Amino acid sequence: MQLITNQSLFEFQNEKEVNVWRIVNDGVMGGLSESQIMWDKENGTMTFSGNVSLENYGGFASVRTAPIDFNKGTFKKILLRVKGDGKTYKCRMRNSSRFDGIAYSLDFETKKDEWTEIELATDDFEPTFRGRIYSRYGKIDTNDLQQFGFLIAGKQEGEFKLEVDWIRIGD
């Protein structure tokens, strides 16, 4: 088992890195939340923003990569540099290329309009499906990382904005 030492997943220095990300909002269940992703060429960042609506049984917005075989080996932490809006987001990873199924999730807090570096231990990610925890699935296998993303939920109604400078992995 080879451990990874601070390696880049995304640096957002070119549009190609943003083009692999996809929006998945609560509209898949009839909700009315909206979101978008944008690349800031000048600053080399990706912004995930929009509006979470609780109407029509909604309440979440998310963005994730299309299925990619990341092939990064074993890693113990996710490192993020983000500027948020003071809301709580979920960092999510999947071992499957399927659209639906188990996602390994971990909450992180943002500070309003302030760049923050966040370190998330992969052992702290919990296997979830549609908001419920399914412990029987155990820990994420980082050797088989297929999708990576962010989600805002938890009845955090209204406008949101998460700017991402980079995403890295480490040991």
Whether residue 160 lies inside any domain: the answer is: yes
Whether residue 93 lies inside any domain: the answer is: yes
Whether residue 70 lies inside any domain: the answer is: yes
pLDDT at residue 3 greater than cutoff 70: no
Whether residue 2 lies inside any domain: the answer is: no
pLDDT at residue 115 greater than cutoff 90: yes
Domain of 160 in residue numbering reads as 7-170
* 7 alpha-carbon distance from chain centroid: 17
Whether residue 148 lies inside any domain: the answer is: yes
pLDDT at residue 4 greater than cutoff 60: no
Average pLDDT estimate for 142-155 = 95
pLDDT at residue 133, as a whole number: 87
With beta carbons less than 8 A apart as the criterion, state whether 158 and 52 touch: yes
How much is the mean pLDDT over the chain?
93
How many domains does one find in the chain? 1
CA 151 – CA 48 distance, rounded (Å) = 10
pLDDT at residue 131, as a whole number: 83
CA 37 – CA 104 distance, rounded (Å) = 22
Band of pLDDT at residue 155, cut at 50, 70 and 90: very high
> What CA–CA distances, in Å, run from 48 to 70, 76, 132?
21, 25, 24
One-letter amino acid identity for 81? Answer: R
Q: What's the pLDDT tens digit per position in 56-107?
A: 989 999 999 999 988 888 999 999 999 999 999 999 999 988 888 899 999 9
Whether residue 129 lies inside any domain: the answer is: yes
pLDDT at residue 5, as a whole number: 59
Q: The domain spanning residue 132 has which CATH number?
A: 2.60.120.430
Q: 3-class DSSP state for residue 122?
A: helix
Q: What's the pLDDT tens digit per position in 20-50?
A: 999 999 998 889 999 999 999 999 999 999 9
